[in-house]
Amino acid sequence: MKRVIIGGAAGFIGNAVARRLIDQGVHVVAVVKPGTSQSAEAFRLKDLDATVIECDLKEIENLPKLINVQGYDAFYQFAWDGVDKEAFADYERQIDGIRWMIKSVEAASALRCRKFIGAGSVTQLELLYQEGRFFTEDRHKYFRAAQLASEIMGRAVAREKGIQFIWPIIINVYGEGEIAPRLVNSMIRNLLAGKHQSFSPGEQMYDFVHIQDAAKAFCLLGEKGREDSQYIIGSGTARPLKEYLAIIRDVVAPEIKLGLGELEFHGLEMTEDMLNIDSLTKDTGFKPEITFEAGIRRTLEWIKREDEKAENE
Summarised one tens digit per residue, pLDDT across range 23-71 is 999 999 999 999 999 999 999 999 999 999 999 999 999 999 999 999 9
Q: Over 90: is that where the pLDDT of 117 sits?
A: yes
Classify the C-alpha dihedral 29-224-158-128 as positive or negative.
negative
For residues 168 and 221, the answer to whether their CB atoms sit within 8 Å is yes
- Residue 308: the pLDDT is 87
- Reported as a single tens digit per residue, the pLDDT across 242-251 is 999 999 999 9
Q: Is 176 a residue whose pLDDT tops 70?
A: yes
Residue 128: per-residue pLDDT: 75
- Predicted local confidence at residue 212, as pLDDT: 98
pLDDT, average across residues 102-116: 98
Q: Residue range 12-30: average pLDDT?
A: 98
Angle at 197 between CA 183 and CA 137, to 5 degrees: 60
Q: According to the model, what pLDDT value does residue 130 have?
A: 61
Q: Are 1 and 74 in contact (CB under 8 A)?
A: yes
User: What burial letters (b/e) apply to 165-184, b meaning 16+ CB within 10 Å?
Assistant: bbbbbbbbbbbbbbeeeebb
Task: Give the chain's domains with CATH numbers.
Answer: 3-167 (3.40.50.720), 173-209+236-312 (3.90.25.10)
Residues 27, 6: Cα–Cα separation, whole Å: 11
pLDDT tens track for 125-171: 877 776 666 667 777 788 989 999 999 999 999 999 999 999 999 99
Confidence at residue 136, expressed as pLDDT on a 0 to 100 scale? 72
- Residue 243: CB atoms within 10 A of its CB come to 11
Q: Residue 207: name the closest of 135, 115, 148, 292 by CA.
A: 292
**Mean pLDDT of the region 107-122:** 96
Q: pLDDT by residue (tens digit) across 210-240? A: 999 999 999 999 999 999 999 999 999 899 9
The reported pLDDT for the residue numbered 270 is 79
Question: Higher model confidence: residue 273 or residue 188?
Answer: 188
Please give the model's pTM, rounded to 2 decimal places: 0.94
Nearest to residue 220, comparing CAs of 280, 293, 171? Answer: 280
Q: What's the chain's average pLDDT?
A: 93
pLDDT at position 133: 67
Is a pLDDT exceeding 90 seen at residue 113?
A: yes
The reported pLDDT for the residue numbered 34 is: 95
Q: Looking at residue 88, what is its pLDDT?
A: 82
